[in-house]
Amino acid sequence: MELIKSIKEFRKARRLCCKAAAEAASRSPLVGFVPTMGNLHNGHFSLMKLMNQECDVRLASIFVNPAQFGPSEDYENYPRTLEADLSKCEEAGVDLVFAPDAGEIYLPGRSTQVTVSGLVEGYCGIVRPGHFDGVALVVAKLFNLAQPDRAYFGQKDYQQFRVIERMARDLNFPLEMVMCPTVREESGLAMSSRNSYLTPSQRYAARTIFAGLKALEEAFQAGERGAEILKAWGRTQLDEQVRLEYLDIVDGQTLQPLSTAAEGDVVLVAARVGATRLIDNIILKAGGQDC
């Protein structure tokens, strides 16, 4: 596995990797890509493992993207754990890790923006104005550099997935977006780099976010379809330390809120526990849940 910091070197290494893989397989190689901000956990690891199984060339990036953090957010304090991350990438079978500095990605005086209107206005877009513009911009740049055939993202960041998917479609990136199931701690809490900010008692309280989703889901599976009633079920489980930002049932493609729920619709939730903002979601299924 190679660690690369410059765009020039990354392009060159990618080319060489693809050439070697094409020669070995006697066909054009399938290139996979997992973009991350580092501080890798089992959620990232599962994306990389799937990429390893499916692709001939396995690329990952580690870049804490300043453009997606608001002025009062945790950019400076975001956990940076490059050494440990590299071991995880190696174990997951990644070939090249691109880990540039901010100055390599953002040139002074840059004036290009990427806005995916419609999908970014609600939910996390309300509380984090400009966040998805920053995500769309950096992922467009990374797609441009990595030129993947398949890009892997976690379901946990559901809105982000739909924003990136639309950006990739609108800008004609010839790739397949792969959504992988949310990986959870034993308590049900969705894995996130930000879980490391939680104290033990906050972590205990945070598990009730998923408990709420499960309660909502049980009501759905018992036949309830009214969104307001289902959301009330979702709120019943929440610990008093969990301050709900939103809990809504939306169309899985458009992210528009619904008054009646159906199979395939998505329950989006965001909450603060202490100063830490956590998000989660489930896709409603009439039978068993796979989330």
DSSP-derived secondary structure for 43-111: HHHHHHHHHHHH-SEEEEEE---GGGS-TTSSTTTS---HHHHHHHHHHTT-SEEE---HHHHS-TT--
Q: Compute the least distance from the CB of residue 157 to ligand PAF, in Å.
A: 5
> Please, which residue, 16 or 102, has the CB nearer to ligand PAF?
102
Chain positions 154 to 213 lying near ligand PAF, rule: CB under 6 A, are: 157, 160
Q: Compute the least distance from the CB of residue 218 to ligand PAF, in Å.
A: 29
Residue 202, token pair as written in the block: 């906050």
For the packed helices 82-91 and 42-54, what is the interaxial angle rounded to 10 degrees? 40
Torsion of CA 82, 85, 86, 88, to 10 degrees: 170
Stretch that binds ligand PAF, among 12-20, 30-38, 207-215, 240-248 (CB under 6 A): 30-38
Q: Compute the least distance from the CB of residue 64 to ligand PAF, in Å.
A: 8
Q: Compute the least distance from the CB of residue 191 to ligand PAF, in Å.
A: 12
Stretch that binds ligand PAF, among 35-43, 175-183, 204-212, 267-275 (CB under 6 A): 35-43
> Please, which residue, 105 or 216, has the CB nearer to ligand PAF?
105
Task: State the Cα–Cα distance between residues 280 and 158, nearest whole angstrom.
Answer: 8
Catalytic residue among 14, 44, 58, 141: 44
Residue 2, token pair as written in the block: 């190679």
Contact with ligand PAF (CB under 6 A) among 35, 100, 148, 212: 35
CA R_g for the chain: 19
Q: Any contact of residue 62 with ligand PAF (CB under 6 A)?
A: no
Task: State the Cα–Cα distance between residues 167 and 157, nearest whole angstrom.
Answer: 15
Stretch that binds ligand PAF, among 2-10, 34-42, 195-203, 204-212 (CB under 6 A): 34-42
Contact with ligand PAF (CB under 6 A) among 139, 167, 213, 273: 139
Q: Compute the least distance from the CB of residue 1 to ligand PAF, in Å.
A: 19
Which run of H or of E encompasses 250?
strand 242-250
Q: Any contact of residue 138 with ligand PAF (CB under 6 A)?
A: yes
Torsion sign, CA atoms 140, 92, 193, 207:
positive
Q: Any contact of residue 124 with ligand PAF (CB under 6 A)?
A: no
44 is catalytic: yes
Q: Where are the alpha helices (DSSP H) in the chain?
A: 7-25, 42-54, 82-91, 102-105, 124-127, 131-146, 158-170, 200-221, 227-236
Binding interface with ligand PAF (CB under 6 A) = 35-37, 65, 68, 135, 138-139, 157, 160
Query: Residues with catalytic annotation?
Result: 44
